[in-house]
Amino acid sequence: MNAPFKVVIPARMGSSRFYGKPLIDIAGRTMVLRVVEQALASGAQSVVVATDHPDIFNCVTQAGYVAHMTDAQHPSGTDRIAQVALDLGWADDAIVVNVQGDEPAIAPNLIAAVAVSLHDSTDSVMSTAAHPLHSAEDFLNPNIVKVVLDNAQHALYFSRAPIPYPRDAMRAAGGELSVLPAQLPVLRHMGIYAYRVGFLKRYGQLPVSVLEQNESLEQLRVLANGERICVHVSDSPAAPGVDEPTDVALVEAYLRKSATESGLT
């Protein structure tokens, strides 16, 4: 079913790894504008870029889209989104999807699916997404975040460690697993979130957990404080994003390939 939702795109100028990346050129289009256009294609009621820099604000508004200036001292994109929801007076039951400003190829249907997941899970305060992982190398890679779910598609835990841990297979392989066991439900977390505005308003007051500090995963704060996160399981992995300058060529190649496959070139 359809669910009404809004999108906020946090876009900071001062990335430590890639200063100014929201304004870089991706195949002839500024990256932040590409993200806005993907979000608009999702069916969102509104799309707002939350930024701390006038150059990003001007780029977005001069293109005819909506931007909102937020406090430069916010510790996370979630806090930046919460300010937008408060400043614009959004209702507590409104659903807001956090689309990262460095995801110029994000699938519009993924944005909508995360919103629907939260709309349908009335006992969750947040939703996110994951997709099946088939590579043993990725399973063991601490830079790839895994998630395990209960039978109702709620997140039980997120970790950089290999979870769920296949004890017998790992023992037989001497800890050097090369192939994942059949039927092992390994899911890779995808970095997209939806929130109910009422939860966003109190998110900043939740105490940081030891789990979050050790895993360096912000979503563990939610679980550690007894709240539920529902998870949409996608058949497809996420499109590539831009973390550092070398990622630009990868994203442009992905966009060319996608355009060719869809018959747009």
pLDDT digits (tens, 9 = 90+) for 49-101: 999 999 999 999 999 999 999 988 887 888 889 999 999 999 999 999 999 99
| Residue 215: pLDDT over 70 | yes
What is the mean pLDDT of the segment spanning 155-176? 93
pLDDT at 16 over 70: no
Which tokens belong to 61?
């508004």
Task: Output 134-140 pairs: Cβ under 8 A, ≥24 positions apart.
Answer: 134/180, 134/186, 135/180, 136/177, 136/178, 136/179, 136/180, 138/188, 139/177, 139/180, 139/186, 140/177
Which amino acid belongs to residue 223? Answer: L
The reported pTM is 0.93
Residue 128 has pLDDT above 60, yes or no: yes
Tell me the domains of the chain and their CATH numbers. Answer: 5-241 (3.90.550.10)
Give the pLDDT score at 77: 81
Predicted local distance difference test score (pLDDT) of residue 158: 98
- Residue of 3 and 4 predicted with greater confidence: 4
Comparing 52 with 155, the larger pLDDT belongs to 155
Rounded distance, CA 212 to CA 249, Å?
33
Please state, rounded to an integer, the average pLDDT across all residues of the chain.
Answer: 93
